[in-house]
Structure 1
Amino acid sequence: MGYCLDKAGFNQVLQELSQENVVYAPKLFKDGGSFSDTDRIRYGEIHTVEEIIFDRKSDYSFKEVLLPLSQTLFFFTEDAVKEADAPHKGAVILLRSCDLHAVKRLDAIYLENGGEDYYYKRLRNKVKFILIGCQHSFENCFCVDMGTNQTADYDAYLEMKNDKVYVDNHNEAWDAAFAARSRGTLAVIPAYVTGNETRVHIPEEITLDVMHSKMWDEYDNRCINCGRCNFVCPTCTCFTMQDLFYTENGKVGERRRVWSACMVDGFTDVAGGGCYRKKNGQRMRFKVLHKVYDYKKRNGYHMCVGCGRCDDICPEYISFSNSINKLADASKAVAANADK
């Protein structure tokens, strides 16, 4: 059902939703950027529609709501273990189409890749999604080529136009709240982009022979293994485990899982001092092929959703989309060398 509300009416709906949920949306964090006097757009709790940033892409994704940067799994003492409590409230997340497609990737990894991840599932079961439409493509986005530029899999759709809030609601439990504040019902169709300035081509004939390409060598010097690309990515899901012992009692503490990633030092370290991927080019190779090759082999669709945040955040201006576009020529070069 489609509704038209003024800002005050929609804010009242948000107040109702906030009674049982924390509502997250891309918002402006003043002076929260990487440099002095620069801002940052990332996900945070909101209470009014005026706080939502509609006209700019968030620097970070929604991911840290479902996968907290640091998550306590359980507490332990000398004699007992106690599971960490789940959040009492649910969550409502406002996100764009590419990020909503990323949720499908997270679900596949944490719920369908063998046994279900208990800690992810208990958060995921309490989350609803409100789609934000894209009126135009943002810098470095390539969602159209990745097939993630539109979706109908949402609880509600939200659009701001001429100081009015337009909603397409798919969640029956919310109908009464919207209808009570609506100035009328109408058809509301989600806005989505049909083209991006950045284009990518993933060759269908690619094989793992491309691992032997020289294209990966350039990243040995260019990449500084900071991991920013992984941490802003909505589909990177890796973590490490940490046991924290309290200073008051060294036999009491908690176990946490904390984000980690394939591009940072120590991720592939193993017992005995070994390391599977020491060079940054090897790490880049793994990341690229995981996003656009082996994940699809297993699941039938690519892991990357084309949000372009990795290109936005990289301090060395390494372009993931360019890396994808190099694969076709790299595969041909490897095949030509094999024939010699």
Structure 2
Amino acid sequence: MEKILNQEKLREWVDMLDDCEVYAPAFADSVWNFARIEAGTDIDLSHTNTIGSVKEFVFPQREVFFRFEKKDGVPVLTPTLPDPKPTVVFGVRPCDGRGMPRNDTVFNKEFVDPYYWARRDKLTLIGLACNLPHSPNCFCQSVGGSPHSEDGLDVLMTDLGDRFHVKGITVKGVEAMERGRDAFDAVRDGDQAEVEKVHDTSRSFPQRPLGNLDAIPEAIRENFDSPLWADMAQHCIGCGICTFLCPTCHCFDINDEVISPTTGEGERVRTWDNCQFPDFTMHTSGHNPRADLGSRLRQRVSHKFLYFVENHKTQQCTGCGRCITECPVGIDIVAVLERVSQ
């Protein structure tokens, strides 16, 4: 399904999704991030990429698996499987969209994660193609994507100035468009040619190159024990920004948090973990196989460009550039890969 949506009718479409929780980019505290759209709130899709990714809608930073307590000396467990309302997210950039199939693979491979899929099955992603690069650190095309990739999105919108070209990609996407059918117009003569021109122009902007992507896994293997890793990681402060903002990083920890020692009441909680933290691979013996910054940087790069390729036949990085832009000490994953490859 392909339609035209005049810019002033975007709010009308959103209002027709009245039984859904609707999110869109909003500018606050000097950054763009996704925020809940309340009734009557205008939507501004002039955003650069959001600082947070859409993975948070399906894989929250903290979630309770179940609650436990003792009643008459007997342990009682209360499951907390989520049952969210249908959620629609507008303004998802294609690099974030490409992250979702990678996350789907992780949480649906050897074990199906019911907490993830309870949210994922009710999530609709309305993508917005990039007409211009939003950062000098964008490199989606270097990892097989594009500024108008449809991968992982349910709908792709392309900004044509006074109107959007709106394309339904999945069943969920077409359903969302059907809900707002009265807001849409038919595609006119010349609209498709204009869309193709916008897409061609967006692809023509230079991006950070990665060279031969297929050769990177072997370069990492060959340089596994190189002192290069320690040299490149010497400024790292272990803050974890690079992985927490990444649309595909998915490592987590599970802990039992006791609320009341008297009643034995507590919660089993999953929280994001981070391979750049010193205790990420700490053994109970006290031994840490990745005790230094260099080995932890190697782990992050290897996970994305070696191990994920071996396990899932694609690299884990989508080229959003957040980890470069937001790193407080300037560690640059593209530069790291260039040095390893050389």
Runs of 4+ that moved beyond 6 A = none
The normalised TM-score by structure 1 is: 0.86
Paired residues in the alignment total 319
Q: Does 1:119 align with 2:132?
A: no
1:169-220 per-residue CA deviation (whole Å, 9 max, x = no partner) reads 3433234333312244345547543243322123614251211122111244
The 3-state SS of whatever aligns with 1:211 is coil
In the alignment, structure 1 residue 14 sits paired with structure 2 residue 14: yes
1:115-264 to 2 correspondence within 5 Å?
A: 115-137=111-133, 138-149=135-146, 150-153=148-151, 154-170=153-169, 171-186=173-188, 189=195, 192=199, 193-194=202-203, 195-201=205-211, 202=213, 204=215, 205-206=218-219, 208-247=221-260, 249-264=262-277
Q: Secondary structure at the match of 2:268?
A: strand
2 CA distance for matches of 1:156 and 1:179? 14
Cα-to-partner distance string for 1:204-263 (whole Å, 9 max, x where unaligned): 142512111221112442100110001000110001112222248451011110111100
* Distance verdict in 2 for CA 1:265–1:18, change over 3 Å: farther
Distance apart, 1:321 and its partner CA = 0.8
> Per the alignment, do residues 266 and 306 of structure 1 end up closer, same or farther by CA in structure 2, a change over 3 Å counting?
same
Q: What's the CA shift for 1:299? A: 1.4
* Aligned CA distance change for structure 1 residues 98 and 9 (closer, same or farther; 3 Å): same
Gaps of 5+ in 2: none
Structure 1 residue 18: Cα displacement? 3.7
User: Hey, what's the Cα distance between the residues in 2 that align with 1:8 and 1:249?
Assistant: 58
Question: Which digits, 9 at most, give the CA deviation of each residue in 1:96-135, with x for residues without a partner?
Answer: 11111110110111112x1111211111111112111100
Partners of 2:23 and 2:338 lie apart in 1 by 34
Alignment partner of 1:158: what SS?
A: strand
- Name the SS of the counterpart of 2:208 in structure 1: coil
1:291 is paired with a residue of what secondary structure? helix
Q: Supply the distance in 2 between the matched residues of 1:300 and 1:136 (Cα, whole angstroms).
A: 30
Q: Tell me which moved more, 250-259 or 228-237.
A: 250-259
Task: Give the drift of 1:25.
Answer: 2.6
Aligned equivalent of 2:62: 70
CA contact (8 A) 1:10 1:49 kept: no
In structure 2, the residue matched to 1:26 is 25
Where structure 1 has 5 or more consecutive residues not aligned to the other structure, the ranges are 32-38, 330-340
Over aligned residue pairs, what C-alpha RMSD do you find? Answer: 2.2
Matching residue within 47, 51, 69 for 2:43: 51
Question: Is the 1:144–1:196 Cα contact (8 Å) retained in structure 2?
Answer: no
